[in-house]
Structure 1
Amino acid sequence: MHSIASYFKPDASGADPKQASFIPSLKLNDGHDIPMLAYGLGTKASKTKTTKSDDIINPTVAAIKAGYFHLDGAESYGNEEELGAAIKKSGVARERLFVTTKTSCREGVTIEEAFSASLAKLKLDYVDLYLIHSPFWAKSPQDLQRAWAEMEAIKESGRAKSIGVSNYLQEHLETTLQTARVPPAVNQIEYHPYLQHGDLVDFCRKNEIAVEAYAPLTAVTKATGGPVEPIYQVLARKYGVSEGEIALRWCLDQGIIAITTSSNELRLQTYMRNIPAFKLTPKEVDDIAKAGQGKHFRGFWGAQFSDDDRR
């Protein structure tokens, strides 16, 4: 086992967390802490006409009780009411939780209106992190800048402790930073060995914007059979963990926050137990990254990109 005795809190610079007996938190550029492993109520847990609320609430309660105090939701998932109900049902004190939701920037709806509606559905007085879900709705750079000014007003009100973005490329971040009084604290992106986004992660680090990975298990789930698979298998045997745990640890060991959407209670408990118990070496992290360059796979927002666009 690659063990490092000392422990310090990583930050948005990309510093990797040292090995500890718990999931570490990362220090954001505004001074707030964010747990580096999150439970996501993403597309798998989205509310549809046939979805029973308990099928969303109960797995979320189980995740919270397993120690997932970082909960990632969004307006577009249609399950903010269920997330709020799960928080209440869990019995865990609000101040122990880190709650994220996102705005879709729907036409004709101000971000303030969307945010107020989200808080009402969540039945919360504040969220820990509020994100613009994507930049692709914007028709001009000025649209992105106006939206960010609305986000800054929400942060100033105290109802969102931190604000950030999701699915932003470097060009969108540059546009936002041109007029921002408060820089984004987070950029949440699809991130795994087969989608490393070129220079985007380095750009975020240079600007102290924390990177948060959704779909980090893609090479184990949706894109199996690629060049990373044999490396995952070897490392899983070496550390006595699953390939999924290798995939999550790969993110953490780059100073990247990781989101899992598993609804399997036993798997969630195992992640929380096993992931703090080992750490990849720098060479193993690099080997996975280099192997991942041999395949390209994008699971989300594909309509916005050409097939060979790796940004």
Structure 2
Amino acid sequence: MSLPCLSLSDGNSIPMLGFGTGTAWFKEDPGEPFNLKLVEVLKTAIQRGFRHIDCSDIYGTEEEVGIAIKECGVARKELFITTKVLEGLYGIPTAIESSLSKLQLDYADLYLIHSRSIAKDLSDLGQAWLAMEKVQALGKAKPIGVANHQRSHLEEILKVATITPAINPLEFHPYLQRSHYENYLCWMREQGIEVASFNDLTPTRKARPGPLNQPLAEIAAKYGITENAILIKWQIDQNVVPVTTTSNTSRLSEYLAALDLMLTVEEMEEIAQIGLTHHFRAWAPDRVDPDDRS
């Protein structure tokens, strides 16, 4: 299976569907043992057609991803491996070496500043970004970017950047569209920054019951496909890269089935407009104002 890709501003491209190793696989305690089940799920995901694998230094899953890459039977050049730095924000050159050692890789296909939350001061983001540029110059990462950054954080980075962040993964779904509030997605794209998503299945998982329950069920029934696949395709059709996950390999084919789906313009708009009637933030809702939809 050949996955569609999104072109980035630096000329690289990213597969339009990723398998994440946070959420279902996150290790609360860094001392947790090696997770053989994750390795097997990752190998199955790759064998089924996933090529984009997402991890982070904070997830505690880089070693498992590294073993899965070695054992999956797919050439390294065909895989797209994203990892992120959070705890190592003030020592990014050391952090990337640690991540690559655990991944058993020479480079990351995408390296991200995981969050602005650990920065002691807003201006520190600019200095961290300059360290990211050095990492790229050394060949340790191809595209570099950020995650969970709002406009003020990106503006701080852009003050000093000589390389524009390639992408900014955010919580994104019909109940948190962002583009309809201060046109955040449009603004990022004007700067050359693309968008990926996490918690992308929130309307079918964490936000039930909600106004999209019936419309999603009706569209899914029409195409003989799951509601989760509808949500994934709704994002892909907006050039947003969904990064989803599961501990149940039976869901992998369900997610990949979204790639062959063709939603109508009317169905896309119906999901968007109904989604706007219900605000729900799944990740860290206590960190922002309850009415903040940016």
- Which interval holds the TM-score relative to the shorter structure? over 0.9
- 2:3 aligned residue: 23
How do 1:156-171 and structure 2 match up within 5 A?
A: 156-171=137-152
RMSD: 1.5
Q: Confirm or deny: 8 A CA contact 1:75 1:102 kept in the other structure.
A: yes
**Cα deviation 1:255-310 (Å, max 9, x = unaligned):** 110111022222202322x2222221222212111111111111112232122211
How does the TM-score come out when normalised to structure 1?
0.89
Q: Which residue of 2 aligns with 1:13?
A: none
Residue number in structure 2 paired with 1:40: 20
2:35 — aligned with what?
A: 53
Residues 66-96 of structure 1, C-alpha deviation per residue, up to 9 Å, x if partnerless?
Answer: 1111000000001110110111111211100
Specify the alignment match of 1:307 in structure 2: 290
Confirm or deny that 1:251 pairs with 2:231: no
Unaligned runs of 5+ in 1: 1-20
Q: Please say if residues 34 and 64 of structure 2, whose CA atoms lie closer than 8 Å, have aligned partners that are also in contact.
A: no
SS of 2:143 mapped into structure 1:
strand
Shift of 1:56: 1.4
2:270 corresponds to which letter in structure 1? D
Counterparts of 1:202-241 in structure 2 under 5 Å?
202-241=186-225
Q: Is the 8 A contact 2:19 2:52 kept in 1?
A: yes
1:225 counterpart letter in structure 2: P
Letter in 2 for 1:128: D
1:140 paired residue among 118, 121, 141: 121
Matches within 5 A, 1:56-135: 56-106=38-88, 109-135=90-116
The aligned residue for residue 272 of structure 2 is 289
Once the 2 structures are TM-superposed, how far is the Cα of residue 105 of structure 1 from its aligned partner?
4.4
Residue number among 261, 266, 270 corresponding to 2:245 in the alignment: 261
1:196 maps to 177
**TM-score in terms of structure 2 length:** 0.94
Kept in 1, the 8 Å contact 2:110–2:143? The answer is: yes
CA contact (8 A) 2:96 2:140 kept: no
Q: Post-superposition shift, 1:23?
A: 2.9
Quick check: 1:105–1:111 contact (8 Å CA) kept in 2? no
Q: Larger relative contact order (C-alpha < 8 A, sep ≥ 6)?
A: 1
Cα shift at 1:51: 5.4
Q: Identity of paired residues, percent?
A: 41
Measured in 2, the distance between the counterparts of 1:56 and 1:231 equals: 34
Aligned residue type for 2:112: L
Q: Distance in 2 between matches of 1:285 and 1:136?
A: 33
